[in-house]
Every structure is written in C-alpha cells, then in structure tokens.
Amino acid sequence: MKKIQILGTGCAKCQKLAENAKQAAEELGLDYEIEKVTAINDIMKFGVMATPGLAVDGKVLLQGKLPSAEEIKKLLG
C-alpha cells in the first residue's frame, strides 16, 4: 500500500493537491491511503519549506507547486 502524504496547512492548493493525488491513485488502480500532514513542525520534518508538498511513503516528490493528476500519475506510476 502506498502512503500518499499531502504536506500543507489546509489551504485551497493543499486541498486541490489531495484531490489530484486521489484521482491519480485511483486511475492507476493503486492500493493507497492519503494522509494530510498539517502541523508546521511535522511539515518541516520532511524538509519542505514551500507548500503544498507531496510525499509518497515518506519521500518528498514535490513541493511548492500544484501538479495535475496526470503529473502525479507519472510520479506514482
């Protein structure tokens, strides 16, 4: 199971990133769970300085931008 983590305080971009990640994972037919990491201290533990951020299984793949579902599929695939 992939653990997809959305790193952000809950802003509109963070919420859209969560939607895009969910869409990408479902289109790929992945077994996944989405976790929203909203505490600043927890986000900083990932080394992310710009939100939103996207991590999979604890590894940061993107930060500071809002990728489309298609872009996320390339990262997850």
Q: Is 14 a catalytic residue?
A: yes
Active-site choice (3, 11, 47, 50): 11
**What does the pLDDT profile of the chain (77 residues) look like in tens digits?**
999 999 999 999 999 999 999 999 999 999 999 999 999 999 999 999 999 999 999 999 999 999 999 999 999 98
CATH assignment of the domain containing 18:
3.40.30.10
Burial of 31 (0-12, 13-18, 19+ CB in 10 A): exposed
Structural domain for 39, as ranges: 2-76
Active-site choice (4, 6, 7, 14): 14
Q: What is the total count of domains within the chain?
A: 1
- Contact (CB, 8 A) for 40 and 48: no
